[in-house]
Amino acid sequence: MKIVLINNKLKTLAATTVFVLLTACANKPTHVVIAPDLSITNSPSNQTQYQNKQASIVVTDMRSAQHVVQILRKDEAAEIYSSQQPLSNIIKQTLISEFKQQGLAINAQASNAIEIIIENSLISVQQEMMKYKVNNEIVILVKVNNGKQTLSNTFKVRGTSEGPLSADIAVLERDFNQQLTSLLTQIISNVEIRSFIK
């Protein structure tokens, strides 16, 4: 009788353990929140940069994989994190908002066409037992056609870092947002792009 009770308790304990493990796996985040914070267009002088000008904006994601963070461990499947919505949508919404604040009217039929091409956008973590190393790169190609000529500019942000123990996904998310903000700020404030849009 005691043996049957012990077996039942062990079965209950095993079932509870499996349930807790499955629940923990199910609740693990699978995405990072990408929210670039551009605040360079708040001054009144910036609000007239594109006065009486119009442009269309198209964003194309040319990356072979859609995740923005990957954590690699030896002999294990990669742990990957995508953005909460497509990165192309986030970049498009951010740039449209900023260009509008600078006075640019967004019009799909405009003679000025701005094409944003995401060539790379990845934070790659090499995770070892007691340390990690991070390599990150964001590369965006901007093409502007003003109806007569085409301007092409490539904007890049690269970096490396390392630390003890395990990489913190919240820190990786923060770093990615800072780097993307920096890169989009470069695009928005680029004098060549400003002067090229007629």
pLDDT tens sequence across 116-151: 999 999 999 999 989 999 999 999 999 999 989 999
| pLDDT exceeds cutoff 70 at 171 | yes
pLDDT tens sequence across 154-168: 999 998 998 999 999
Q: Where are the domains of the chain?
A: 30-196
**What is the distance between the alpha carbons of residues 155 and 157, in angstroms, rounded to a whole number?**
7
Q: Using CA of residue 189, residue 193, residue 195, residue 198, what is the dihedral sign? A: negative
| pLDDT exceeds cutoff 60 at 3 | no
Mean pLDDT, rounded, for 41-68: 82
**What is the distance between the alpha carbons of residues 144 and 104, in angstroms, rounded to a whole number?**
14
| pLDDT exceeds cutoff 80 at 84 | yes
Range 30-196 classified under CATH 3.40.50.10610: yes
Query: What 3-state DSSP class applies to 3?
Result: helix
Q: pLDDT class for 25, splitting at 50, 70, 90?
A: very low
Residue 69 pLDDT: 94
Q: Which residue has the higher pLDDT, 30 or 197?
A: 197
Q: Over the chain, what is the mean pLDDT?
A: 84
* Token pair 């551009």 in the structure block, residue: 38
